[in-house]
Structure 1
Amino acid sequence: MQSQDVASRPGPAPAGPVVDVERAEAALVEHYPRLVRLAYLVLPPSLGRNRRVVTAHSLTQRALPRGRAAATPVIPAQSTGRDGDPGYAYLRLRVLRTALEAGLTLKRPAWPRRSQLPPLLPQVWGLRLFPRSGGADELALDQRLSALSGPARAAYVLRGLEQLPDGDVREILAAAGVADVDDALEEADAVPAQYALLDSPEFDPCSLQARPTDLMRRRQHLRAALAAGAALLVCGALLGLPGEGWAPDGPAAPPYAQNPAAEAALDPAQLTKVPALAWQSAARSDFSVWPARGDRTGDTALLRRALAVWARPGETVAVSATPGTPAGGPPGAPQLLYAGTVDTARVVLLYDGLRIARYAEPVDGTAGAALDFSRVDGATRADAGAVVLSRADGNVRYLLAPWVKEAAERDLLKPDGGAMELTVTDGVTSPLASPLSQRTGACSSWNVLQTTDSTGTRLLSDLAELVPARLTTGHPGRTAEVTGERALHTWAPYSCWLGAMRSAGVRTVNAWSFAAQPLPDGTGSADWVCTRAETWRGGGERVLAQFRTPGATRAALAAKAQNVPACGARDPHVLAGVLWKAKAGDWYLLAAGTRDTDSITATGGVHGTSRDNLLAAKAKQGAQAELKGTLESGRTINGLQ
């Protein structure tokens, strides 16, 4: 559909495209997560994270036009909108308008608008819902946005999340009923343009963490319904519990009951602190031999808060965990890896044999504390080289393993550019630019951490988790570290696709060049690379098949799959295809398999057969085909979708 100019204004309905309920419903289903994220970001943070989540879903679900054949004038889609869909543009305007109304101050003489009241639906009883926590950058951005007015937040979100120019932002805000659009844009200018952070899990109300509400209060209410006297006795017993009380635990929730074993795990005096040189004589090299470092390893109050929050995070604590990582308290006294002040936060890193937990709080209090978990069971020396200490202003700092001798920053997109040495103080690196801070869709660099120890050099990439992912190259089962000119040049065209693997619990990512295919027009040979991400939990693997033509600096995504053994050590085979346009204008279906592929057959929109691992067949633009390959062993494989 062709994009059009904005044509809608408050007041009389203008002539223009219309959206019936069926079209709007299709747009809602397709773009629901995007619309809910927009509502969540525009809603006032004063509502609290749980109510913001529920209200965002409610406003989005109420955005459909009424009636089965409603003819509703809309703002036509912008050229940078959701694929030029007028249905999406209409829903976006409805969601934006009601989210702005929800932030208006209630006035006594006037009846409140529906969006200003707690939503009737959806409702969740007995649970608090909130998005997964991001890093320090996301927390800082959320605080800056909370200081803006509703229209200014809307302007910032339309610029960053929707990537609209200011002219289109003005039109949409005016149509949503904003009285002074210029003031809103000027106020939004005061917040740094960290637009890539708006796609963070921190602002995704469709990917949620769940925690119980106050369990003790619910139990007390039940007992009160049965016998008021018994409820009073229970409350009195809880209030009279001995000990230091709740205050020393900072932002932790109140304890549910006295449990001697659980209390012992929360005693800072019981923390395991490994001596500085123990790793040199240890039988294994992993997180269990990291010494305790930092300038606050003796800060008993800080360590007590970190342990208490780990055991029972309070309502104000932002909790996140990589997929497959349990978020419960430690089974016993954990090991202290780090306690110190980093940038503008006090940070504590703890390890319990299965997980690394990072507790962070501002240096001027405990409001805004965060707790992050990452699964690291089975870590080897190669996997246990670094842990993220902090993210601030688009940069990341790492705590390095004690065996790391040198650390440097390298841009994967510039394999010939060399590495820039990092300063390391007590195991903590100087800040390096995180590749995840780039604006969505932009990829001008991909900075990774390069570590060197007595066993060799490794590259580690920040993928929005506590433990960076290790990058490798080569045939599955025989992978090698990314060192040397050839390996670096292999990774360069494919590194920007690492962003598709963020926040997935990734342990390693391997890039394997499995085929080279001469192009039908004789302009050279194209490369086929399979990129596979292995996770700490042993499931949820992600596989990307990528295609790069001669002279191209970036690769194109040909196919992707998840939870499949293809391109891995268990099944080192892959088959993928792509539609390719020659310079003369002819379209072809190009397909490639691993070297032991005996034949490839294409059916559906394109028909063709090859007697080796490469297929080139004439096709039409937009054609769809199914690929099947036969290996030399006689086994049949399907193409990645």
Structure 2
Amino acid sequence: MPNVPSSQSTSPPPPSAPTPRDAPGADRTGRPAGPAAAVVDVEQAEAALVEHYPRLVRLAYLVLPPGLGRSRRVLTAHALAQRALPRGRARAAVVPDQRGTAQGRPGSPGYTYLRGQVLRAALEAGLPLRRRAWPKRAQLPPALPQVWGLRLFPRSGGADELALDQRLAALTGPARAAYVLRGLEHLPDDEVRRVLAAAGAADPDAALTEADGVGARYALLESPEFDPCSLQARPTDLVRRRQHLRAAAVAAVATLVCGALLAMPGDGWGPDGAAAPPYAKNPAAEAALDPARLTRVAPTAWKRSPRTDFTAWPARGELTGDTALLRRALAVWARPGPSVRVSATPGTPAGAPPGPAQLLFAGEVDAARVVLLHDGLRAVRYAEPKEGTGGAALDLARTDGATAADAGAVVLGRSDGNVRYLTAPWVRAAAVRDLLAPSAAATGLERGADGVTAPFASPALARDCRTWNALQLRDRDGTTRLATDLGELVPARLTAGRPHAPRAATAADWTRTACSLAAARSHGVRAVHAWPYAAQPLPDGSGQARWVCTRAETWRGAGSRVLAQVVTPGAAAGAVAAKAEGVPACGEREPRVLAGVLWKARTGAWYVLAAGSEDVTSVRVSGRDPVPGSAAVLPAERGERLHLTGRLADGTQLTSLH
């Protein structure tokens, strides 16, 4: 791991800024001359770097292009700050700091020089690569520092920090630099123009104008969300790391074989990328793997389509014409090689497409090239690094019978704890809503012209339940729906209300029970329904207990998961009273439910709390006399094992959920 200095020593930078190359008084090399210039040697710059390292790294992190991903931005920001030291003696213009006199800090030519170098390199990192020019050093991944086996990223902030990060991500590099120089360095606009011009920005005035649109939320720049010196560490794929080490020798041999096959005349399997070689010629299978035969739906076909599901999605993305990429995706789908990471939701059949599939998306997402396909039964995501085909991934998810409510979005990628979606063409607006904070306003989620959303924190990748972000989609007809990432390719739809008349859920429906959604991760869940089926007063007079039943329905029909939870006053989350799998309880076919729990009152006494749905006429607890009604409160002993039964109006006995 790199030696990352603590962010506690962050202090406002010394007053100075570089002079533009074309400023009056500059010599032919671009170094400022005359009384406004100061000579900076290595020792002086090193002292400034040690003193102001956290601020320099924060500046680089904020200006670097967001497309690098949070983990790579952290390492690149540290690399740019460490490369900023001069090799010999350099000149830097002393720009009066508007804060220096008031706070009693002297000017520092060393900091001025370092800030200019860091800013120039951060802007160069965002420049596009050119075919006929060598890439600049800042455009390449940093050789040092490097971290193996860990992903590093700053601590997550709140909704305000997320909104500011999304606004900054939409700016150009010079505009981000202008905003950061204003807010973090507190430079007036005239000095910002000089610093940007010295760093190589083509039009500082345009950058300042673009930065005006973000709004003066400068205090948020000091948030831990943007502090690359105070980091969280998460492991990479621990299970596959050993497999990759064992496969290194095999991969080297495979590379030699692939090279030999590519050099040989004939029909080698090199163009198929990470796919395994075909076993035999099969005309029908080859037709399904021909990129030219992929179904491409017109952009407006969904408006006239009798079905509003994945079959009405148009082909989107800037790489839909990349035949080589599409061929690799289809070949890996049919024959995933040993180096391909394959995942499938439970109940999803594996194997090649039965015929030509439908193309949904092909484009670059973060640091990967992604292809989304659909064959009427499954949604398939193929991803490969931008360079080469090593480390390719194939994800399959069952989507048969999807409706417009189920087909609102598909996961394009996850990285650094964030998720990014491709939304349906009928989605008008997208937002992020925290289910644990229903009174907070939803945070608008920016989307590109092709329907790709900005990234946001995913609950499927979180290790705690301090927040639970849901994707809020508003269709063109005004319908608003909530869905959440449960680690699947298709997010799970959230509903509420009585089982026989479900409706789209709101954040208030899930405030106390959202954390229980973690139990449904990676089970092929299609929708999760919340139903508050009973309420009863507590025996100590502290309020009412509310009983909620949640049912997670899967795409395959079988394997549904049911939880009965009791929510008491003052509790941050509901307590699980009972759970079952593969039962019809709490569903449309069998809405009846009964559950109970041992509860300790404020007085220290223990009670049995039991409640059933409204059609329960009496409840019996562990051999005691039946209690009329659908709820019961009885004294109990600590650790007592409960046996609950209920009686319906027609005399039928109902057992408790278990």
Same fold (TM over 0.5): yes
Q: What SS does the aligned partner of 2:632 have?
A: strand
Aligned equivalents of 2:570 and 2:599: distance in 1? 15
Equivalent residues in 2 for 1:295-374 (5 A)? 295-374=318-397
Q: 2:615 aligns with which of 596, 604, 613?
A: 596
Alpha-carbon distance, 1:408 to partner: 0.4
Q: How many residues align?
A: 420
Report whether the alignment pairs 1:429 with 2:480: no
In 1, the alpha carbon distance for the partners of 2:434 and 2:412 equals 21
2:234 to 172, 189, 194: 194
- Report the counterpart of residue 218 of structure 1 in structure 2: none
Contact 1:608 1:617 in 2 (8 A): no
Matches within 5 A, 1:567-578: 567-578=586-597
Q: Which amino acid aligns with 2:354?
A: P
Taking the TM superposition and a 5 Å limit, the aligned residue runs for 1:618-633 are 618-633=635-650
- Relative distance call for 1:556 and 1:320 in structure 2 (3 A) is same
Secondary structure of the residue that 2:511 maps to in structure 1? helix
In 2: Cα distance, 1:275 partner to 1:568 partner: 38
Q: Which residue of 1 aligns with 2:542?
A: 523
> Within 2, Cα distance between the matches of 1:445 and 1:374?
26
2:301 maps to what in 1? 278
Q: TM (normalized to structure 1)?
A: 0.63
Q: Distance in 2 between matches of 1:349 and 1:612?
A: 53
Query: Could you tell me which amino acid in structure 2 is paired with residue 193 of structure 1?
Result: A
Change (3 A) 1:204 1:511: farther
What secondary structure sits across from 1:387 in the alignment? strand
Matched, 1:448 2:479: no
- Match in the other structure for 2:419: 396
Offset, 1:578: 0.6
Structure with the greater alpha carbon radius of gyration: 2
CA shift at 1:437, angstroms?
2.4
* Alpha-carbon distance in 1 for matches of 2:325, 2:319: 8
- AA at the equivalent of 1:514: Y
How far did residue 432 of structure 1 move?
1.2
Task: Give the aligned residue type for 1:572.
Answer: P
Structure 1 residues 616 and 327: CA distance shift in structure 2, 3 A: same
Partner Cα distance (1:537, 1:464) in 2: 17
Cα gap change, 1:254/1:408 in structure 2, threshold over 3 Å: closer, same or farther? Answer: same
Post-superposition CA distance 1:24-65 (Å, at most 9, x none): xxxxxxxxxxxxxxxxxxxxxxxxxxxxxxxxxxxxxxxxxx
In the other structure, the counterpart of 2:433 is 410
Contact kept, 8 Å, 1:394 with 1:437, in 2: the verdict is: yes
Cα separation, partners in 2 of 1:191 and 1:490, compared to 1, 3 Å: closer
Q: Give 1:229's aligned residue.
A: none
- CA shift at 1:244, angstroms? 2.6
Contact kept in structure 2, 1:145 and 1:191, CA below 8 Å: no
Task: List gaps (5 residues or longer) in structure 2.
Answer: 1-144, 153-228, 244-249, 251-260
Q: Can you list the C-alpha shifts for 1:195-217, whole angstroms capped at 9, x where unaligned?
A: 6x88x997999xxxxxxxx9xxx
TM-score norm. by structure 2 comes to 0.61
Is 1:289 aligned with 2:312? yes
What letter matches 1:622 in structure 2?
Answer: G
Q: Name the SS of the counterpart of 1:634 in structure 2.
A: coil
- The whole-number CA distance in structure 1 between the counterparts of 2:598 and 2:569 is 16
CA distance in 2, matches of 1:325, 1:253: 21
Asked if residue 253 in structure 1 is aligned to residue 270 in structure 2, the reply is: no
1-structure distance, mates of 2:453, 2:280: 41
Q: Deviations over 1:296-319 (max 9, x none)?
A: 000011000000000010011010
- Residues of 1 paired with 2:313 and 2:240: CA distance? 30
**Secondary structure of 1:307's match?**
helix
Separation of aligned partners in 2, 1:301 and 1:293: 17
What displacement does 1:469 show? 0.3
**d(CA) in 2 for partners of 1:515 and 1:489?**
17
Give me the whole-angstrom Cα distance separating, in 1, the residues matched to 2:356 and 2:267: 20
- Partners of 1:257 and 1:594 lie apart in 2 by 60
Name the structure 1 match of 2:652.
635
Aligned residue in 2 for 1:509: 528
Q: 1:619 to 1:201 in 2, by over 3 A?
A: farther
SS of the residue corresponding to residue 643 of structure 2 reads strand
Q: Distance in 2 between matches of 1:503 and 1:324?
A: 11
